[in-house]
Amino acid sequence: NAGVTQTPKFQVLKTGQSMTLQCAQDMNHNSMYWYRQDPGMGLRLIYYSASEGTTDKGEVPNGYNVSRLNKREFSLRLESAAPSQTSVYFCASSEGTGKGQPQHFGDGTRLSIL
């Protein structure tokens, strides 16, 4: 099993450009998440989808949009990229959002915005 697959692995954008980060999981999980990881800041939740058809904001949603395309896929869109969005982006999934259900992560997208 591949687990959680993220594409692309690396991307460089210019300020103001838009792009979509893709995430797919093959574990039949109900819940999916988007995080960003920055030095000294740790993992911060951008958006999550508790189940197919629902999405909710996390700690740092400004400048981002998400789409839960189906049970397997959850995409993150930057409409107008800014240098402050330079980061490593991780997608994760879990069986649900109930007690003690661990999240499983992809290997990330390294995004630089010039």
Partner 1 sequence: EDQVTQSPEALRLQEGESSSLNCSYTVSGLRGLFWYRQDPGKGPEFLFTLYSAGEEKEKERLKATLTKKESFLHITAPKPEDSATYLCAVQAGNNRKLIWGLGTSLAVNP
Residues lying near partner 1 in the complex (CB under 8 A) are found at: 4, 31, 40-45, 48, 50, 58, 90, 92, 97, 99-108
SS (H, E, C) the chain: CCCEEEECCEEEECCCCCEEEEEEECCCCCEEEEEEEECCCEEEEEEEECCCCCCEECCCCCCEEEEECCCCEEEEEECCCCHHHCEEEEEEEECCCCCCCCCEECCCEEEEEC
Tell me whether residue 85 or residue 103 sits nearer to partner 1 (CB atom).
103
| Least distance to partner 1, CB of residue 38, Å | 11
| Least distance to partner 1, CB of residue 67, Å | 19
Tell me whether residue 79 or residue 107 sits nearer to partner 1 (CB atom).
107
